[in-house]
Amino acid sequence: MDESIELRVNGTPVKVPPGTVVAAAVARAGVVKFRTSVLAAPRGPLCGMGICMECRVIINGDAHSRSCQTLCAPGMDVWTT
Amino acid sequence: MKTYHFEIVIVGAGPAGLAAACAAAESGKRVAVLDDTPWLGGQIWRGEQARPSISQARKWIERFRTTGVTLLDRTSVVAVPRRGLLTAEHPEGPRAIRWQQLILATGARELFLPFPGWTLPGVMGPGGMQSLVKNGWPVAGQRVVVAGSGPLLLAVADGLSKHGARIVSINEQAPFAQVAGFGLTLLAHPSKLWQGIQIKWRLLGIPYRLGVWPVAAEGDTQVRRVTLTNGEKNWTENCDALACGFGLVPNVELALALGCRLQNGFVQVDKWQATTVDDVFCCGEPTGIGGADCALIEGLVAGYAATGQRSRAADLFYKRAHWHHFRERLAKAFALRTEVRQLASDDTILCRCEDVTLARVRRFSGWRDAKLQSRCGMGPCQGRICGAAAKVVLGWEMESVRPPILPARVEALLVLNGNSNGPAASPLSKT
């Protein structure tokens, strides 16, 4: 498969094919917890369609970005919380 | 702030929105379609733009492309400051969009009901999981239990297994008697029947259980086990993911913000798909959960009616009635049983954004009261998940929405003061 897009998830380089969303890149990097809830529980994507906000991560410094609705781009810097 | 002017603005580029755009474009008016995502086709046809597999989706996406309609993608409507104006968020900055006629094709989301363990990573909506898998989410070799309700369960199980997932079981809460009746309904809708037969054939060997529902999910950092029940006995199945959703709920937030009247939770429309607010039309799932075929017909009617092409709209009434019949049967067949409304225990989280338990909100008189006193529904999803759950679990109605209808940057909100031009270049960053 054409894995031509390279980005970083929590500092680790990940290669993904074009058309991959950031949420999928996070999962491919082996990260299960996308964010920490108010009561410190791990959370990951629920709705997959931009509504629940559970998949929000920091993309290129932009906090609260919906990883399920954002396509990966070369050099993206993604951090889970 | 970047400002656009169009005669017809359509919100949503799923089947209903695409059909509405194609019909409206025939009038020669200036038409635009906005969508949250970078893709055409909405959630139901997600991935079809890049890798077409459904001929109907390909046909409509191609037809849309020939119309010359402007597509404003990655554009999320955040507010309706006044009549004829929408404000929206875009990755490159806020947008002001002026319209003369507005067509809402905002689709639906999945219904999530709280049960112990439903907040664990790996517990996802079936449709949501399907969408993510189409955009690279890794499922190959993973054991997936599918549960909840609705025809989507089979379609998703089929889609996931094509991507290499090992489907452990498919569990539909509706009992056999209810679903069997729906099977007979399909005889009147041969295309749906054939779709169903093909899917079931490919899934041979995977248990499709009726009258079975999940009662708990367990795991430490992610879901590892699911306990299911048929009401008489419980058993546990190991898994790496649980795809669980209890049907669809319409996205009516924008309609509410515009002042459109709802009827039984859906946007009320007349035969022209016109809402109770002048120059605002609505089509597809927000008027009733009927699936893509129903949404396409309603979209065409709305697009024609909004542009004064009433005879073309009227030609479709008969076809629309056919799909409305299907829609009614669908609702009956997959009506929720009482037990699935009562899966949460007192310490189960109801509001995932603010981690508010069911026990904390139960004592309040209604949604508004609970919001004010417990922060339930006050997080970034703005009650879209827990509000829909509270309606089913506690019988509470969400009567109104407040702007912004999605979390927004301050820049996008400045227009709410009535200055549609906004600041030329704002130094403000994300709130």
Average pLDDT over residues A40-45: 97
- Model pLDDT, residue B420: 46
List chain A residues with CB under 8 Å of B129: 48
Residues of B in contact with A47 (CB under 8 A): 109-110, 112, 124-125, 128, 385
Residue with the bigger pLDDT between B202 and A57: it is A57
Report the alpha-carbon distance of residue B187 to residue B194 in Å, rounded: 10
Helices (H), B74-125: none
Pairing of strands B248-250, B101-104: unpaired
Q: Where are the alpha helices (DSSP H) in A17-73?
A: 22-28
Residue A21 falls in which region: left (phi positive, over 0), alpha (psi -120 to 50) or beta = beta
Quote the pLDDT of residue B48.
85
pLDDT at B417 over 90: no
Closest chain B residue to A17 measured between Cα atoms? Answer: B136
CB neighbour class for B24 (10 Å; exposed up to 12, middle 13-18, buried from 19): buried
Most confident listed range (B49-58, B183-192, B417-426) = B49-58
Asked whether A6 and A15 are in contact (CB, 8 A), the reply is yes
Using a CB-CB cut-off of 8 Å, the residues of chain A touching B138 are 24, 27-28
Q: How far is CA B424 from CA B78, B95, B415, in A?
A: 19, 12, 12
Asked if residues B205 and B171 have their Cβ atoms less than 8 Å apart, the reply is no
Tell if the CB–CB gap between B128 and A64 is shorter than 8 Å.
Answer: no
Q: How many CB atoms lie within 10 A of CB B324?
A: 16
Q: Which of A32, A51, A68 comes nearest B381 by C-beta?
A: A51
Q: In this complex, do B128 and A71 lie within 8 Å of one another by their Cβ atoms?
A: no
- The pLDDT mean for chain B works out to 92
Is the domain spanning B123-245 CATH 3.50.50.60? The answer is: yes
Label the pairing between strands B70-72 and B213-218.
Answer: unpaired
DSSP assignment letter at B150: S
B136 → closest Cβ in A19, A49, A52 = A19
Is residue B330 scored above 80 in pLDDT? yes
Confidence of residue B419 (pLDDT cuts 50, 70, 90): low
Write down how long chain A is.
81
Q: What does the pLDDT read at residue B430? A: 38
Give me the pLDDT at residue B47, please: 84
Identity of the residue in A16, A44, A56 whose CB atom sits nearest the CB atom of B121: A44
Q: Which domains does chain A have, with CATH numbers?
A: 5-79 (3.10.20.30)
pLDDT value for B205: 83
pLDDT-derived band at B428, boundaries 50, 70, 90: very low
Whether B385 contacts chain A with CB within 8 A: yes
Which residue in the set A27, A39, A41 is minimally distant from B138, CB to CB? A27
Residues A8 and A78: beta-carbon distance below 8 Å: yes
Residue B248 to residue B246: CA distance in whole angstroms:
7
Q: Is pLDDT larger for residue A27 or for residue B195?
A: A27
Q: Is the pLDDT of residue B8 over 90?
A: yes
Instruction: Tell me the mean pLDDT in the region A5-13.
Output: 97
Confidence (pTM): 0.92
Q: In this predicted model, what pLDDT tens digit does every residue of B109-131 receive, in sequence order?
A: 999 999 999 999 999 999 999 99
- As given in the structure block, the two tokens for residue B382 are 């703005």
Question: In chain A, which residues have their Cβ closer than 8 Å to the Cβ of B43?
Answer: 49
CA distance B189 to B144: 30
Q: Where in chain B is the domain with CATH 3.50.50.60?
A: 2-108+249-331, 123-245
Radius of gyration of chain A, Cα coordinates, nearest whole angstrom: 12
Q: With CB atoms and an 8 Å threshold, state whether A21 touches B135.
A: yes
Q: What pLDDT was estimated at residue B298?
A: 98
pLDDT digits (tens, 9 = 90+) for B37-46: 999 999 999 8
Surface-to-core class of residue B253, CB atoms within 10 Å of its CB (0-12 exposed, 13-18 middle, 19+ buried): buried
Residues of A in contact with B251 (CB under 8 A): 51
Is the Cβ pair B136, A20 closer than 8 Å? yes
What's the average model confidence in pLDDT over B176-186? 83
Query: Are B66 and B102 spatial neighbours (Cβ–Cβ below 8 Å)?
Result: no
Closest CA to A76 of A3, A13, A27, A4: A13
- Chain A, chain B: beta-carbon pairs less than 8 Å apart: 121
Q: Where does the pLDDT of residue B192 fall: very low under 50, low under 70, confident under 90, or very high at 90 and above?
A: confident
Put simply, whether A36 touches B (Cβ < 8 Å) is: no
Q: Decide if pLDDT at A65 tops 70.
A: yes
Which pLDDT score is estimated for B409?
Answer: 79
Q: Rounded to 5 degrees, what angle do the CA atoms B12, A20, A81 make?
A: 95
Give me the amino acid identity at B98. R
User: Helix or strand or coil: residue B108?
Assistant: strand
Range with top average pLDDT, B13-27, B193-207, B411-425: B13-27
- What share of chain B has pLDDT > 90, as a percent? 80
Strands B8-11 and B31-34: parallel
Q: Is residue B196 over pLDDT 90?
A: no
**ipTM (interface predicted TM):** 0.97
- Predicted confidence (pLDDT) per residue in B244-272, tens digit: 999 999 999 999 999 999 999 999 999 99
Beta bridge partners of B123: B242
Rounded to a whole number of angstroms, the distance from the CA of B243 to the nearest CA of chain A is 9
pLDDT digits over B127-172, tens only?
999 999 999 999 999 999 999 999 999 999 999 999 999 999 999 9
Q: Which helix (H) or strand (E) holds B250?
A: strand B248-250
Please state, in angstroms and rounded to a whole number, the distance separating the CA atoms of residues B121 and B133.
15
Q: Is B119 on the interface with A (CB under 8 A)?
A: yes
Of B124, B127, B430, the CB nearest to A45: B124
Q: CATH number for B2-108+249-331: choose from 3.50.50.60, 3.90.105.10, 3.40.50.10680, 1.10.8.50.
A: 3.50.50.60
pLDDT score for B415? 64
Residues of B in contact with A54 (CB under 8 A): 352, 381
pLDDT at B425 over 50: no
Partners of residue A37 in chain B, C-beta under 8 Å: 119, 352, 355
